Amino acid sequence: MRKRLVFAGAAIVVAIAGGFAIKAGRGAAAVPASAAMAANAPDAAASEVPLDFTPNEASKPLQLALPQVVEFSGPLVAPNTAIVRAKATGTLLSLDVQEGQRVKAGEPIGRIDVSDLQSKVAERAANLAAVRTTLDQAQRTHESNIGLANDKFISPIALENSKSALESAKAGVAAAQAALDSARIALRDASLLAPISGIVSKKYVVSGEKVTAEQQVVTIVDLHLLELAGTVGTQEVGQLSTGMPVTLKIEGLGKPIDGKLARIAPAAEAGTRSIGVVVQLQNPKETMRAGQYAVAQVQIGDATPRLTVPISAISSASGQEYVWTVEKGKLLRRTVTTGRRDPVKGRAEVLEGLTPDALVLGARFDNLREGAKARVVAVATAATPKPLPTAATATR
């Protein structure tokens, strides 16, 4: 009995020892409790590995002049656009143009059935001939009465009556001539002539359709001159003046186009703080089309040096802009107020929140922590974090 108890005790001791051995094998990579407590102790900060940044990633702000860019956008329009309308009611006998076809000013583009107008012209021409006959008769009668009145064969009243008849006949001829001219104008307008040279952009009717007076037939567009209408803020318009050069970026075109500021509205639009502006650009080769979207930029010179940082250095959270700086061996997040921006130079003006000798991170990095150890080194090391891709850079 005593021997069995001894063996049982030995087995228990072996099992416990094996359990400790298995636990030690499985947790070889685990941090001991004492080490974990030491890591959480205040002395752990002293052993923290600092983040290394190169001079290209952390640099001082630069004093630069930043030209202000006033930007607005909208679709291009062709100011020289004409809508051809029917001037008479009738059947459209033919429309000899297609959309996209080029026409010249004065060129016939269609015909309307004008048989009723032709009848009016003939009728009024006959009426004019009749009143001219009456005028001739009144003229002869009055000339005869003048001779008779001189010989005292008729009374002065009879002479005045013949003179009145002559004046009435002259007025009748003038009225008949005006009516004939009006009928001829209506007949001429019914022939549908192109009022300007350009390209047919839209047809509203087809041959055989009944049209009425003032109904739209086609639209003709002259693309040699285009305009962009946009709006700018009231705080910016004071720096603009007509004739200033404008750079336009137009969708579908690889390079910017030059234009000029043609007009500035005299007052702000109702209910807004925006004022309308119009840019004109020449289009001699007709490479651009009305309706293309364009972004216009007016650059205003600047002679004042300004404290600037890379635009990529500026981040935003909860409506506040901030930058990361390296100060006294630590990362600090500084709230800043920005001003002008120059997309060409990639710089932004800092009005408040930075000193000229601050080391600012010029790119965005992930998982930065305020108060973490940081330093600027000449060459990148394993502790140098990688900046976020440029495509992820946020804009204001």
pLDDT tens digit string along 158-172? 878 888 888 988 999
Q: What is residue 70's predicted lDDT score, i.e. its pLDDT?
A: 87
Structural domain includes residue 158? yes
Among candidate residues 159, 185, 208, the one with its CA nearest the CA of residue 88:
185
Query: Any idea what the CATH number is for the domain that residue 269 is in?
Result: 2.40.30.170
Span 280-305, mean pLDDT? 90
**Residues 170 and 87 placed together within one structural domain of the fold:** yes
When divided into structural domains, the chain yields a total of 3
Q: What is the pLDDT of residue 386?
A: 64
Q: How far apart are CA 73 and CA 205, in angstroms?
A: 34
pLDDT, mean over the chain = 82
- Verify that 178 and 145 share a domain, yes or no: yes
* Pair (205, 87) in one structural domain: yes
Q: What is the pLDDT of residue 334?
A: 93
Residue 15 lies in a domain: no
In which domain, by residue range, is 154 found?
81-219
Model pLDDT, residue 333: 93
Q: Which is more confidently placed, 384 or 330?
A: 330
**What one-letter code names the amino acid at 89?**
T
* Whether residue 270 is found in the same domain as residue 213: no
Q: Say yes or no to pLDDT of 382 above 80.
A: no
Q: Residue 322's pLDDT is what?
A: 94
Last residue of a domain, one of 271, 300, 329: 300
**Predicted confidence (pLDDT) per residue in 101-120, tens digit:** 999 999 999 988 878 788 88
Q: Taken in order 236, 238, 243, 244, is the CA torsion positive or negative?
A: negative
* Predicted confidence band of residue 351 (pLDDT cuts 50, 70, 90): very high
Question: Which H helix or E strand runs over 349?
Answer: strand 347-352
Lowest mean pLDDT among 48-52, 96-100, 194-198: 48-52
Percent of the chain whose pLDDT exceeds 90 = 46
Residues 199 and 253 placed together within one structural domain of the fold: no
Q: How far apart are the first and last CA of the chain?
A: 87
Q: Are residues 103 and 186 in the same domain?
A: yes
User: Are residues 170 and 119 located together in one domain of the fold?
Assistant: yes
Residue in the structure block whose two tokens are 């001699």: 284
Q: Is the pLDDT of residue 3 over 60?
A: no
pLDDT band at 384 (very low <50, low <70, confident <90, very high): low
Structure tokens at 162: 């013949």
Does the pLDDT value for residue 6 go beyond 70? no
3-state class of 7 per DSSP? helix
Distance CA(93)–CA(206), nearest Å, equals 9
Residues 61 and 127 in one domain: no
Classify residue 130: in a domain, yes or no: yes
* Residue 228 forms part of a structural domain: yes
Q: Are residues 213 and 85 part of one domain?
A: yes
- Phi, then psi, of 343 in degrees rounded to 5: -65, -30
% of residues, the chain, pLDDT over 70: 84
61 close to 358: Cβ distance less than 8 angstroms: yes
Instruction: Answer yes or no: is 235 within a domain.
Output: yes
What DSSP string runs through 279-320?
EEEE-TT--S-TT-EEEEEEEE---SEEEEEEGGG-EEETTE
Q: Is residue 138 part of a domain?
A: yes
Q: What are phi and psi of 311, to 5 degrees?
A: -60, -35
Q: Are residues 363 and 345 in the same domain?
A: yes
Per-residue pLDDT, averaged over 369-388, amounts to: 78
Query: Could you tell me if residue 292 is inside a domain?
Result: yes
Q: Note whether 162 and 86 are same-domain residues.
A: yes
Given this model, what pLDDT does residue 47 score? 57
CA 304 to centroid of chain Cα atoms:
30
Residue 383 confidence class, pLDDT cut points 50, 70, 90: low
Question: Beta-strand (E) ranges in 109-214?
Answer: 110-112, 198-203, 210-211
The pLDDT, as a whole number, for residue 185 is 83
Q: What is the CATH number of the domain that holds 57?
A: 2.40.420.20
Of the residues 265, 300, 335, the one at which a domain ends: 300
Q: Can you tell me the distance from the alpha carbon of 347 to that of 59, in angstroms, rounded to the nearest whole number?
A: 13
Asked if residue 257 and residue 374 are part of one domain, the reply reads no
Residue 116 lies in a domain: yes
pLDDT grade for 19, boundaries at 50, 70 and 90: very low
Express each pLDDT in 227-271 by its tens digit: 999 999 888 888 899 999 999 999 988 899 999 999 999 998 888
**Cα 294 to chain center, whole Å?**
5
Domain boundary among 300, 318, 343: 300
Crossing angle of helices 115-150 and 156-189, in 10° steps, is: 160
Backbone angles phi, psi at 115, to 5 degrees: -60, -35
